[in-house]
Every structure is written in C-alpha cells, then in structure tokens.
C-alpha cells in the first residue's frame, strides 16, 4: 500500500488537509434544532403516498414515523480499500470498545454500528445524541477522531442510501464512467475509488516484475495487499498497472461544480475530469481515432443521480414537510427523462446506466424509467437489470407496477385516459398543467412486453433507519435512436379514436399543458431550459450511427446562446457534433455570473529540459510515462506547477480544447517550483498529492526509509527539527541517512514490519531536506490527524523554526507575529464563501427551492471552498492550506530575508 490518491491523505498525499469541502468539524455533533419546531405533517404528501399504498397497510405507521424521525449520522471510510480498512480498524479497536461501555441515564448508549450490507463494512451509522457526545470524555475523543479524519479526507460523511447507486454500477478497472449530475460529489468520490480499485497491488506487482520493488513480497495477508487477488484477476495491465479508466463528473450548476471540485480533488486522481454542462444535452466528446472518421467517447457506466423533489429526505430536510406540493415532482419529470435518454445515448452497448433519486414519487421514478425505455425503442434496446442478488442484506421493495398521479390541485388520477376525458369536458385547461401521458403507467399494446418494474429498487426509511431512495439499473442492449419527445409513440386504436374526439370537442385544450409550462422549481436551478430536444437527438443519433457504421463525421459549425444567465449551447439542427465552439482560445475568460473558464491545459514535450532535470534528480524510472505532464498557462511552459493526467484524460483535453467543452478541473499537481538556493538542488519538489503516483518510480537516491514508530512521531510532532551541529543525531534510525542526503525534496517511505514498534500500514510522505533542518511537507491538520490515529496523541506541534514554541499561536519565540490571512472583499474566496452561505441556507430550508435539498447539506458556511480557476489561485489556495506558518514564513522572508531562519528561504513556493 502506499498510494493515497483516493483520499488516503493520512498517508501523506493530499492537499486540502484543511478540511476544505469537508464538513466542518462541528457538524459531527450537530442536532438540527429547526427539526423540533417544524410541524411534520402535510396532508397532500400523506394523502398521496397513502393512496398509492407504496408500503403495505401494516407498515404505514412505521413508515411515517421513520420519515418524521431525525436521521442518524452516517459516514464512510474512503480512499483505497487497504487504507480505508486501516482507519476503520482504529475505530473498531479503540473507540467502539470505549463508547460501548458508556451509560447514560442508566441506559447503555448505542455505539456506532457498521452497515451490514456495505462491502467490507466500510459504512457506519450512529444515533448517539449530541448531549451524550458532549458529556462523556470517551465520546469527545471519538468525536476528535471523526473530525480529524474527516478533515483530511479519510472519512466522508454521506447518507447511507446515497451510497447505494455507485455500488450497483459494477465498475471494473479500465472503464469509462460518467456522473451526469455529480455535485456536491459524494457519489463521484465513490466512483473514482472504484475506477482505481486494485491499482496499488497491480503496480506493486509490476515493480517486482521489473526488479524495482521494495523487497516486500505481495502476499495475501497484510492489510495493504487485500486488493491483490482481485487486482491480479482483473484486467487493466496495459499501463503498468495504473488505472486506464476515467470518471467525468459533471454538474450544470457552476457553483455546485466548484463544490464538486473540492470534494473530488482531494482524491488526487489523474483519471478524473470535472465538467460543467447541462446533462440533457451533454456534449459528445471527441477521442483519437485511428481511421479517417472522427470518434466519440462512449461510456461503460453512467450515473444519472438526477435532480428531484427529494421527498425521501424529510429526515434530513424537515422543511419538506411544509414545502411538499404535488407540482414539485411533476415539474421535474421532463428534465429527468431527458437526462436519462441522453445518458442512454452516450452509453456503450452492454453498458449500464444507474438512475437514482431521493424521491418516493413514481412520477419521478418508475414513470421516468418507462418513458425513457419507450423513447429509446423499448425493452429490446434497453432493459432493467435484476439486482436482487446484489448487496445482500439490504432490505428493499420492488418498483411500483401501478401508480396514480396527483395533479397540482391535489386531485389524484388513475390513468391518462381519465385525464384526457376530463380535459375534454373541462372549461379550461387550468388544473391539468404539467400532466403528461408518460407520467402514468404505460398501457401496453397486445403482446408488448411489460417493463419489469419489480427490478426497480425502492428503499424506505423504516427498513434500515435511512432516508428514502429509488434506484434502477438499466442495460443498453443495442444501438438506439431515441424518438423525439414531440413524436409520441403510436397509440392503440381505441386511444387514437378517443384523442381525436377529445381534441375536436369545443373548449378542448389546444396543447398539452407541459408544452408551455416549465416548472418554476426547475427554473430556479436553471436546468429546465427549453432544450432543443429534437436537434440534440438528431446529432447524437447521427454520431452514434456514424460510430456504428463507420460513416463520415462532419464537423459542425457552432454557436452559443446565453439562456437565463447560463451559457448553454443551443444546438442547431446540424448534422453532427454536439460540442460547440463557444469560447475563443484566450484564457482565462470571465463570464457572466462570475463563471470563469479554466486556464488552458498545455501538455509538455516529453523531452522538455525541465522534465529531464526532474527525472534525473529523482532518478525516476524511464518506464514512468513522460507524455502526460501538463501546465496550466497559455505559454505552455513549466513556470510554477506541473500536473499529471492519465492518457485518456489527456486525449480528451487535447482533442476537445476550444470546442466548447467546459472543463472545470483535471490533473493532479505533481511538481511545484521551489524557491531554493544551491546549484545542484532540483527546483521542483514533489507535491504531496502527486506523491502516491510517482513515488514507486523514484530511485533510491531520493528515498529515506523509516520503520520505527518513535521516529515518525518525532517528524510529525516537530516541524523543522535541526540537522545542523549534532541535531541530526536525534533523528534515530534515519539520522545518518538524512544527514547525508543532498538538499531538496525526497520521499519518506514508512515501511510496515512485525516489530513491536513497527507499523502495520505503508505510508509515504514528502520530506524536505534543508541546509540545516528537515521537514515533513504536510499541512498541520494532516500531521495532527496522523498523530491521533497512529499514536492517539493530540499534543501540540512544536515548531523549531520559531524557536520551538508549541505552535499555539501565542508567538513566544523571536519570530514575527503571524499575519492573519483575510480574503480581500470581492475576492474569489469571499464570493465563494457567499455561495456556500447560500447553499447552507438551502440545506436549512431557508429557500423554497425543493430541488435536491440534500445537495448543500455537506457544505457549511465557513468551509474553505474557493473557486480555483487559475494556476495562481490554485497556488494561493495551497499556501492557505499549508497554514499560517507558511504565511508567517513568507512574511518573515519579505520583512527580513537576511536574518531569519534559512527554511523560510528554502520552503517558499515561488
């Protein structure tokens, strides 16, 4: 083990250790005070679901009671499996026994419990009340553990039911995956972990094959080799074991796309691209073609976790009780269908789309599935997969076979036929607005196969003490040509006769209501724009046909039209190509609503002299590819940072540049320029997030090995311990090595052993050898989290660069005062802070917007989320992350460069 790109930043990788994008520490014992005062009744809500009988009579009471109770806290251990298990082990061995013995008011307090059906029991839930957590010391240390591991990205707070869809995607290494509605990104995080599954073991295997291993056999048994068997059996060996898969995580909302970036960036995956598009018309992505015809990316797996009314989330969002109206679900149906149809279009034959909502409403669930299958050509083309054997232990209900629809006035309709009859007789169309034929169970023609709704999955709150959720897994059986919305399915004869009678009746509605009625709800999130549906389909279909037939593809001229403040490409009825050129190629471009476009992604020549210097200094194996390093500035020169991406990500960035694709983020920062003195020192240090990727390929000349617990503890607790004079002798087992190693960045490999003072897991950390001191290049939060997890030690850090004070900001040394980093008014940071305030207000129900209320729940005011769009901002954000010490050092450097500690000079980022 040693790779930590997937959230294992406790092992040294990982920026964002400051908990950016992670829940704020105090959310771990939040109780929702608003929950107590909200009246948890809503007549229409209760009437509708009672009449639908979504649960049997004898469960109704339990069902409604569960919906009214508060939701237990739940979380998931994340990162690579081995690492996640190591962190989990700490909970099992240390905290659970402590907590289990606690009694409150004579009752034993329920400890956190693992979710039985979740693989490896990596998901946990707890109902412990806040006052108990506050009152008892065992809980406070447990809470500290949760807070610190969450802040460094080893634990992700996530609703239990929200963890289900990725688990049903059956993602295999090497697959291309698209998450169409991804923000704030909890499922994307799961998906990227899956894309990388087994990678560590595969790479270790390859290294051993080529004689570059670290001497340890990859044998089953140790935590770090758990993935081995699976890894060796699964494919994806074409890139020396590195994952060749891809996740594109997309969201239409730019603000939310930024939340998404912060959630997934800490996973340090080079196989991830974040985009900002309307999923109903997600552009086709060009990829290299070996033949004369253009080629477009198709996905093995797509997650359509669509925006929904969210009425399964009352436990988390009690405002739903007062806000629930039938129009919420009705207004979303069209968009949900469009997203699902687009997903099916972009899917490979044999691939899977997982459709999910946190709504109980069949209009947003079974009806969407039925309509999308119908529009794509029926069950011959797209089928529902039976997942009843998956996730054993998860209690679930089958999808509804029959359902009714509640209109905006609260009337409940059993069939579209009834609606049509009533519409024909009605004085006005008022009251029928938004009703659609497709919202009702389809009436099948003779001999037509019925949709196997029983394969849809409904999870109700009282089953496992969770929120409510709907999931359906669809498989594409053959190429499709989706029927446009405006071309309804041919009707059985009786229906045609009835329709013509109805439409000729005096006062009959001229148009079906939805044609002119766009949900105000949808408008709020700017997602239900009038999509030029037919055109989109035409183009997508053309592309698919071209791919299928190998026919020619014509590059379409392109245009972009702003709609309601959102730059949405309007697709004209041209023969091909959804990607539309909407940007000139100069960057960055400031857009309306403060949307920014990223700086360009420019790949470096593999023979670039700077790359050659880096390879030489770190003795990087020639097998490690050189053609995937890029910079993010218009000159294309490595000035400040060098990023690394997978091959497929590179091809996509290169081939689609300037073609209207809105890339928000891609690439792992691998090398950062260091302002350092000395001729033979490499001015590029390995950035902690890139460390897990490059570290196995770094030569012995830049590696320091460590096996004893006390040595690592010293490095974690002491910042800048002295090497000068006799100082180096205090470094224990690594003393001579660090005395002799030349200045610059190196790799600290913490190796597991069976010794009493040895480690169970492999850890890799970046280390800086300065002229007269040594320093782990880790943010303070990360140091503290590791100290707590590995040593159960929460003592303050000691900073030798400020005279050895204990870093409590009381500035006892002779150093300059610590400047406080305050973002300038109007800066990106403050703007995004404001956005996050808004998101939190949404989560607390301050807005009437019923769409996906769960979205903002994981983001709180004060979370340090910044819209990072340029290289400079990225570096600035990193400096902030590294804490006030960095700022202080920078300040000292500027104030009195000649007299301060040398480390100020040697650790300053240019």
| Interacting residue ranges for ligand SAM, rule: CB under 6 A | 162, 180-187, 251-253, 256, 278-280, 305, 307, 335, 525, 527, 852, 855
296 forms beta bridges with: 286
Minimal CA–CA distance to 65: which of 464, 462, 359, 358? 462
The angle, 0 to 180 degrees and rounded to 10, between the axes of the packed helices 254-265 and 186-195 is: 40
Q: Are strands 663-666 and 272-275 parallel, antiparallel or unpaired?
A: antiparallel
Tell me whether residue 525 or residue 832 sits nearer to ligand SAM (CB atom). Answer: 525
CA atoms within 13 A on the CB side of 841: 10
Q: How far is CA 646 from the centre of its chain?
A: 18
- What sign does the dihedral 627-630-634-638 (CA atoms) show? negative
Tell me whether residue 278 or residue 429 sits nearer to ligand SAM (CB atom). Answer: 278
The verdict on whether residue 773 carries a ligand-binding annotation is: no
Q: Are strands 744-750 and 763-769 parallel, antiparallel or unpaired?
A: antiparallel
Q: Are strands 176-179 and 295-296 parallel, antiparallel or unpaired?
A: unpaired
Tell me whether residue 180 or residue 611 sits nearer to ligand SAM (CB atom). Answer: 180
Tell me whether residue 297 or residue 604 sits nearer to ligand SAM (CB atom). Answer: 297
- Cβ atoms within 10 Å, residue 42: 17
Q: How far is the CB of 25 from ligand SAM (least distance, A)?
A: 21
The answer to whether 435 touches 327, Cβ cutoff 8 Å, is no
Tell me whether residue 134 or residue 523 sits nearer to ligand SAM (CB atom). Answer: 523
Q: How far is the CB of 747 from ligand SAM (least distance, A)?
A: 34
Three-state DSSP class for 833? helix
DSSP classification of residue 697:
G
The verdict on whether residue 305 carries a ligand-binding annotation is: yes
Q: Are strands 405-406 and 774-776 parallel, antiparallel or unpaired?
A: unpaired
The verdict on whether residue 441 carries a ligand-binding annotation is: no
The answer to whether 816 touches 888, Cβ cutoff 8 Å, is yes
The answer to whether 621 touches 858, Cβ cutoff 8 Å, is no
| Region for 537 from its dihedrals, namely left if φ exceeds 0, alpha if ψ lies in -120 to 50, beta otherwise | alpha
Tell me whether residue 184 or residue 883 sits nearer to ligand SAM (CB atom). Answer: 184
Q: How far is the CB of 594 from ligand SAM (least distance, A)?
A: 17
The angle, 0 to 180 degrees and rounded to 10, between the axes of the packed helices 780-791 and 137-151 is: 130
Residue 633's φ and ψ, nearest 5 degrees, are -150, 160
Minimal CA–CA distance to 700: which of 742, 747, 660? 747
Burial classification of residue 601, based on how many CB atoms lie within 10 Å of its CB (0-12 exposed, 13-18 middle, 19 or more buried) = buried
Tell me whether residue 102 or residue 182 sits nearer to ligand SAM (CB atom). Answer: 182
The answer to whether 770 touches 764, Cβ cutoff 8 Å, is no
CA atoms within 13 A on the CB side of 327: 16
- The tokens for 226 are 């758990």
Q: Does residue 358 have an active-site annotation?
A: yes
The answer to whether 632 touches 643, Cβ cutoff 8 Å, is yes
Q: How far is the CB of 707 from ligand SAM (least distance, A)?
A: 40
Q: How far is the CB of 862 from ligand SAM (least distance, A)?
A: 20
CA distance 589 to 634: 12
The verdict on whether residue 182 carries a ligand-binding annotation is: yes
Q: How far is the CB of 341 from ligand SAM (least distance, A)?
A: 12
DSSP, residue by residue, 650-678 = HHHHHHTTTTT--EEEE-EEEEEEEE---
Tell me whether residue 188 or residue 866 sits nearer to ligand SAM (CB atom). Answer: 188
Q: How far is the CB of 356 from ligand SAM (least distance, A)?
A: 8
- The tokens for 534 are 């037919």
Tell me whether residue 85 or residue 178 sits nearer to ligand SAM (CB atom). Answer: 178
Residue 430's φ and ψ, nearest 5 degrees, are -55, 135
Tell me if the bond preceding 588 is cis, omega within 30° of 0: yes
Q: How far is the CB of 357 from ligand SAM (least distance, A)?
A: 7
Cα maximum dimension of the chain: 101
Q: How far is the CB of 463 from ligand SAM (least distance, A)?
A: 20
752 forms beta bridges with: 759
Q: Which of 358, 387, 456, 746 is catalytic?
A: 358
CA distance 578 to 335: 18
Residue 456's φ and ψ, nearest 5 degrees, are -70, 155
Tell me whether residue 143 or residue 269 sits nearer to ligand SAM (CB atom). Answer: 269
| Region for 823 from its dihedrals, namely left if φ exceeds 0, alpha if ψ lies in -120 to 50, beta otherwise | beta
With vertex at residue 144, the alpha carbon angle to CA 138 and CA 148, rounded to the nearest 5 degrees, is 155
The verdict on whether residue 585 carries a ligand-binding annotation is: no
- The tokens for 202 are 């595969």
- The tokens for 148 are 């610190």
Tell me whether residue 661 or residue 852 sits nearer to ligand SAM (CB atom). Answer: 852
Q: How far is the CB of 566 from ligand SAM (least distance, A)?
A: 10
Residues in the annotated binding site:
181-187, 251, 278, 305
Residues in the annotated binding site for S-adenosyl-L-methionine:
181-187, 251, 278, 305
Residues marked as catalytic: 358
């Amino acid at each position: 083990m040693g790779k930590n790109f997937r959230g294992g930043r406790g092992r040294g990788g990982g920026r964002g250790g400051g908990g950016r994008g992670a829940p704020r520490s105090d959310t771990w014992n939040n109780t929702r005070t608003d929950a107590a005062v909200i009246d948890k009744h809503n007549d229409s809500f209760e009437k509708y679901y009672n009449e639908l009988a979504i649960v049997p009579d004898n469960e109704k009471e339990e069902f409604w009671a569960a919906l009214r109770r508060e939701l237990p806290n739940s979380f998931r251990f994340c990162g690579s499996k081995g690492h996640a298990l190591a962190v989990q082990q700490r909970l099992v061995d240390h905290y659970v026994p402590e907590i289990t013995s606690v009694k409150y008011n004579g009752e034993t307090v329920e400890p956190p419990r693992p979710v039985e059906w979740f693989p490896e029991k990596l998901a946990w839930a707890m109902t412990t009340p806040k006052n108990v957590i506050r009152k008892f010391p065992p809980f406070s240390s447990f809470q500290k553990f949760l807070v610190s591991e969450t802040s460094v990205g080893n634990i992700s707070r996530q609703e239990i039911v929200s963890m289900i869809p990725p688990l049903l995607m059956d993602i295999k290494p090497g697959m291309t995956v698209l998450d169409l509605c991804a923000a704030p990104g909890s499922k994307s995080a799961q998906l990227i972990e899956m894309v990388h599954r087994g990678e560590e073991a595969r790479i270790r295997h390859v290294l051993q094959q080529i004689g570059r291993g670290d001497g340890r056999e990859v044998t089953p048994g140790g935590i770090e080799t758990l993935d081995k068997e699976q890894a060796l059996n699964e494919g994806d060996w074409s890139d020396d074991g590195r994952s060749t898969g891809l996740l594109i995580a997309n969201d239409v909302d730019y603000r939310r796309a930024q939340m998404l970036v912060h959630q997934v960036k800490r996973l340090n995956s080079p196989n991830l691209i974040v985009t900002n598009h309307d999923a109903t018309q997600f552009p086709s992505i060009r990829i290299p073609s070996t033949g004369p015809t253009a080629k477009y990316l198709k996905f093995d797996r797509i997650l359509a976790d669509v925006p929904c009314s969210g009425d399964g989330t009352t436990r988390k969002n009690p405002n739903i009780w007062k806000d629930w109206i039938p129009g919420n679900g009705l207004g979303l149906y069209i968009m949900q269908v469009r997203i699902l149809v687009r997903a099916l279009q972009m899917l490979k034959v044999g691939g899977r789309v997982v459709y999910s909502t946190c709504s109980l409403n069949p209009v947003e669930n079974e009806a969407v599935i039925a309509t999308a299958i119908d529009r794509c050509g029926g069950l011959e083309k797209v089928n529902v997969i039976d997942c009843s054997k998956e996730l054993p232990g998860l209690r679930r209900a089958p999808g509804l076979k029959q359902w009714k629809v509640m209109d905006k006035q609260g009337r409940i309709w059993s069939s579209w036929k009834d609606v049509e009859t009533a519409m024909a007789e009605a004085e006005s169309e008022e009251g029928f607005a938004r009703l659609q034929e497709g919202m009702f169970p389809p009436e099948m023609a003779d001999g037509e196969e019925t949709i196997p709704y029983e394969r849809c999955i409904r999870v109700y709150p009282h089953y496992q003490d969770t929120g409510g959720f709907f999931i359906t897994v669809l498989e594409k059986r053959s190429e499709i040509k989706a029927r446009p919305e405006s071309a309804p399915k041919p009707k059985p004869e009786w229906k045609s006769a009835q329709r013509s009678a109805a439409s000729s009746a005096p006062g009959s509605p001229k148009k079906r209501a939805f044609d002119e009625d766009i949900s105000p709800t949808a408008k709020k999130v700017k997602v239900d724009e009038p999509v030029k549906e037919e055109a989109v389909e035409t183009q997508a279909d053309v592309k698919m046909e071209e791919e299928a037939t190998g026919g020619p593809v014509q590059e379409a001229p392109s245009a972009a039209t702003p709609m309601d403040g959102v730059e949405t490409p309007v697709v004209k009825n041209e023969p091909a190509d959804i990607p539309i050129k909407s940007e000139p190629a100069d960057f960055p471009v400031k857009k309306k609503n403060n949307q920014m476009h990223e700086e360009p992604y420019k790949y470096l020549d593999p023979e670039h002299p700077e790359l050659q210097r880096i390879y030489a200094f770190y003795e990087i194996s020639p097998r490690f590819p050189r053609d995937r390093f890029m910079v993010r500035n218009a000159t294309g020169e490595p000035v400040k940072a060098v990023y690394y991406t997978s091959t497929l990500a590179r091809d996509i960035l290169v081939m689609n540049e300037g073609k209207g694709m809105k890339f928000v983020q891609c690439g792992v920062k691998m090398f950062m320029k260091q302002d350092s003195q000395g001729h033979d020192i490499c001015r590029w240090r390995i950035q902690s997030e890139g460390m897990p990727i490059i570290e196995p390929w770094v030569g012995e000349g830049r590696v320091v090995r460590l096996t004893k617990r006390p040595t690592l503890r010293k490095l974690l607790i002491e910042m800048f311990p002295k090497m000068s004079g006799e100082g180096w002798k205090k470094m224990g087992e690594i003393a001579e090595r660090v005395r002799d190693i030349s200045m610059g960045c190196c790799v600290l490999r913490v190796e597991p052993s069976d010794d009493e003072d040895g480690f169970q897991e492999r850890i890799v950390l970046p280390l800086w050898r300065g002229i007269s001191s040594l320093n782990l290049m880790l943010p303070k939060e990360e140091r503290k989290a590791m100290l707590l997890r590995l040593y159960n030690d929460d003592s303050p850090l000691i900073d030798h660069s400020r005279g050895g004070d204990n870093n409590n900001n009381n500035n006892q040394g002779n150093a300059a005062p610590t400047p406080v980093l305050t973002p300038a008014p109007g800066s990106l940071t403050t703007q995004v802070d404001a956005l996050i305030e808004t998101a939190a207000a949404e989560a607390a129900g301050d807005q009437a917007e019923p769409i996906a209320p769960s979205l903002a729940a994981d983001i709180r005011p004060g979370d340090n989320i910044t819209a990072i769009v340029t290289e400079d901002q990225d570096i600035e954000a990193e400096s902030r992350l590294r804490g006030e010490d960095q700022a202080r050092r920078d300040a000292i450097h500027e104030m009195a460069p000649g007299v301060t500690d040398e480390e100020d000079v040697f650790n300053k980022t240019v």
